[in-house]
Chain A
Amino acid sequence: MDFAIETDRITKKFGDITAVNNISIEVGTGELFGLLGPNGAGKTTLISMLSTMIEPTAGSAKVWGFDVGRESSKVRQNIGMVFQDTTLDDRLTGRENLDLHGRLYGLDSKTRKKRIAEVLSLVELADRADAIVKTYSGGMMRRLEIARGLMHHPHVLFLDEPTLGLDPQTRTHIWEYIRTLNKEEGVTIVLTTHYMEEADHLCGRIAIIDNGEIVALDTPEALKEMLGGDVITLEAERREDTTRLSEVYKNNGCVCIVSLKGNEVFITVREGERQIPHVLALASDAGIPIRSVSLRKPTLDDVFLHHTGKAIRDKEVSEVEQVRYKIQTRRK
């Protein structure tokens, strides 16, 4: 099989709102693929369709070679899903939750027992396995859900905002589990997130989604590379020097983009850390005093800004409202 997931112009509409618009992507076997975008961008809708939870309005998708519409049962057998909100039975113990899952997926008693021990040790929950889930912390619940999603050896694992609402330490832990799974068990993983760092740290390739469409798709490095490099910010002692300073750089044939704002001069350049000495030397040769210098590597935030004209964080509030509106219309 070439691809673990293939979608062909898949589309989902709720009333007149198009949540997912004509998305065609391919995810290779063994990839760790990220869907990055603000809340309400359509990430959850997309993986809900891929995991057969909702039906596409138009277009089609294949997961592990099976059509999500016609062969939904086969798709389900081959995927694991960790939802955004908890879907555990909190009156039962962790072990019982895993056991019921194993039964639903047709594992025999011996396999269940073995697999429960395996997945529990992977997420380091073995010592709390027999406690009622209600007594778990948020991070433990998420780990148990990941463990449960793995019980039946899925080929593809979907993680919807796997670290939403978790503290930084737990988040780092969960990243480790996800990486281990992908590397050691060879599970193809598709995760959605609106945390830039998460996508950047974890994913081999990232699709940036905005308003139901994919605006960019590549490795995190390539996405950032597209922006032209790092930004060196020089703060001049005197404002009147800034124009001269920028002339200096432009005339010295540096492969860079120079812009000004107030006392600051921004120089976009590849391998910024290597360029700083040169940049400073030029300033001192021209006799321009510099108060400070800083280097910033582009983040996915900048990539998002570049492609959509909006910062991902600015969108949060309005997107929450949009989701609310969507929910209301769906109920009608």
Chain B
Amino acid sequence: MVKKAMNTVYTMWLREMLRFWRSKSRIIGALATPLFFLVILGTGFSSVFQFRGGGTVNIGFFAPGFIGMTILFSSLLGGVSIIWDREFGFLKEILIAPVSRFFVALGKAVGGVTTSLIQGVLIMVIAWFIGVKYVSFLGVLAAIVVMFLSGIGFIGLGIALASKIDSHEGFQMVMSFLTMPLVLLSGAFFPISKLPPWLSILVYANPLTYGVEALRWYLLGNSTIQVELCVAVLVLFALAMTGLGGKMFEKTSV
């Protein structure tokens, strides 16, 4: 039973890996966007902005934000890719197999989070090469765990959405109405310590905020929200979304 479940998860993971490996252009594309942001936006911002009460913004401030953004994009995309599987038919092959759909969804999630992690880690390494200083090696390892938790959460969300959406148009909607607000309201691009109340509520209601804040703590050694709280929120988010995604996928049809 357990062996069969593990086998299902592994098979789905393997498929994601094979696909990821085949789509070199996707890897480059996935890395290019945040890198442009990081280098250009980061450099541009740090040349003009100053925090209220002193201190300049440096490029390092943006690194966790862009890692968070990369994780969000790639994992949501990983989850929502079920829409593609439906459109191109492969979903039928999975749904007719004598395996538990929950573990199929879990395998898909683990596969998606692996590709997210590869991209997140690459951004982290490149940022280090261009001069961002991380506090410790342990911090870097902890940051990877944070990426994993956020990734699983957003993939779960993606799977849940994809189980309900049955068209490309729906997918475009989700991507524009979900990803942009999530990124903009996450503190990836601005400090969240002195926001007006209305904005503050939205930022604190956003799971990505906790991911970015936790990354900021582990990588740079400072954060506005306490890191324990961040991790607790992320664990809950990951568990809840995995459960939701798995449940919704069990009910999906082709």
Contact = CB atoms under 8 A, between A and B. Distances in A.
A237 to B, nearest CB: 59
Contacts of A73: 98
Nearest to A81: B96
B100 to A, nearest CB: 9
Nearest to B167: A331
Interface in A91-113: 91-92, 96, 100-101, 103-106
Interface stretch (A14-22, A26-34, A50-58): A50-58
Nearest to A83: B92
B49 interface: no
Contact of A52 (B8, B90, B96, B99): B96
Contacts of B4: 106
Interface residues of A, number: 28
A329 interface: no
A13 to B, nearest CB: 15
Interface string B148-187: 0000000000000000001000000000000000000000
Interface in A67-99: 73-74, 76-77, 81, 83, 85-92, 96
Contacts of A164: none
Contacts of B166: 331
Nearest to B89: A87
Interface string B68-97: 000000000000000000001111111111
A51 B96 contact: yes
Contacts of B89: 83, 85-88
Interface string B186-230: 000000000000000000000000000000000000000000000
The bracket for how many chain B residues form the interface is 20 to 34
Contact of B98 (A53, A54, A86, A105): A105
A132 interface: yes
Contacts of A101: 93, 97
Contacts of B94: 104
Contacts, number: 65
Contacts of A89: 15, 19, 88, 90, 93
Contact of B22 (A74, A104, A132): A132
Secondary structure dominating the interface of B = helix
Contact of B90 (A74, A81, A88): A88
B236 interface: no
Nearest to A92: B18
Nearest to A80: B96
A331 B166 CA distance: 9
Given A73-B98, A77-B98, A103 B7 contact: yes
Contacts of B46: none
Most B CB contacts (10 A, CB to CB) among A86, A96, A100, A132 go to A100
Given A89-B19, A91-B23, A103 B11 contact: yes
A137 to B, nearest CB: 17
Most B CB contacts (10 A, CB to CB) among A76, A86, A104 go to A104
Contacts of B96: 51-53, 76, 81
Most A CB contacts (10 A, CB to CB) among B10, B92, B95 go to B92
Most B CB contacts (10 A, CB to CB) among A85, A88, A101, A103 go to A103
Given A106-B4, A132-B22, A87 B93 contact: yes
A104 B8 contact: yes
A73 to B, nearest CB: 5
A54 B253 contact: yes
A76 B88 contact: no
Given A51-B96, A83-B92, A87-B89, A104 B23 contact: no
B239 interface: no
B14 interface: yes
Contacts of A90: 88
B254 interface: yes
B22 A91 contact: yes
Contacts of B98: 73-74, 76-77, 104-106
Nearest to B166: A331
B92 A53 contact: yes
Contact of B92 (A77, A87, A331): A87
A81 B97 CA distance: 10
B162 to A, nearest CB: 16
Given A76-B97, A91-B22, A92-B19, A104 B92 contact: no
Given A77-B98, A85-B89, A89-B88, 12 more contacts: A53-B96, A76-B97, A87-B93, A88-B90, A89-B15, A100-B14, A101-B97, A103-B11, A104-B11, A104-B94, A105-B97, A331-B166
Interface of A: 51-54, 73-74, 76-77, 81, 83, 85-92, 96, 100-101, 103-106, 132, 148, 331
